[in-house]
Amino acid sequence: MKTELFEEIVKNLRNYIDSEAQKGKNVTIYEKNPNPYRLFEKVNISVEIDKHKEIILQEETKLEFGGTNKKSFSLVYPFSNSVFSNFINNGSITLIGQKIRDITDLSIDFGMIILIGVKNITEKDWDSMRHFNLISNGIEGFLIRTIPRKFWCRISKNILPNFSFEFLGNAIFYLYQHRFTNLIETMEIIFVNTYTDVIDEFIRITSKINSYINEKWLEKIENWKKRIDCEYDWGCEICPYQAECYELKQVLVERERIGK
């Protein structure tokens, strides 16, 4: 993605947030806590990589972000262009919408943007940073699930009294920086809830980033299909030969490892 385009997108996001704040919408800015351990101890919610892989059932859920009946979106964009980092408010957590203590509904509309500046990013790191397992498996009582065009989070009744967006942002910072030690240079998080018009506008503003990510993904699929001589037009996720293809991929990966 060109520097000018990325700068324009980030600038449009900031200008839009400022304009909505001036119209009276709730906008809160938090900063990354220099001592996250103390914060996690204070709220009594455990944050540790791959420690919390439990499923949160509907009856255990106290609050849900997004979901099948609510508007939702997510964007995680890792980038290695050092110039891009100049446009990121490193360590900033922006919340547009209600704080947890003010939410009375059982489920709310929700969106999340995570921008990550990384030095010398590899394809493997790029893919790993875009998966939500790192967050979902790292925070006690917090679960993320995704299906095509839908994204939602569940918060268990056990942790909700002490849960906040400030905590969630700091937990995400902590997990990423510990999984990708010495790789991350800058990182910024934006949350939005309740305001469906803001979610719609965020989707519109960031559409070119999502298009770039989708093109990158489709290119990877096409390269993989050429490599294994696949002639099918459908996507891998609905392919009836997905299991066989995966087994073949594992064989090729192992061959590459042995050959190095």
Quick check: pTM over 0.85? Answer: no
pLDDT digits (tens, 9 = 90+) for 111-126: 999 999 998 888 888 8
What is the CATH architecture assignment of 3-212? 2-Layer Sandwich (3.30)
Domain with CATH 3.30.1650.10 in the chain: 3-212
Residue 177 confidence (pLDDT): 95
Residue 2 confidence (pLDDT): 86
Angstrom distances, CA of residue 9 to CA of 2, 39, 216, 228: 11, 32, 18, 37
* pLDDT at residue 244 tops 90: no
What integer is the mean pLDDT of 75-87? 90
What integer is the mean pLDDT of 62-86? 90
DSSP 93: E
Angstrom distances, CA of residue 97 to CA of 29, 127, 160, 208: 11, 30, 17, 24
* E strand residue ranges, 5-88: 27-31, 61-66, 72-79
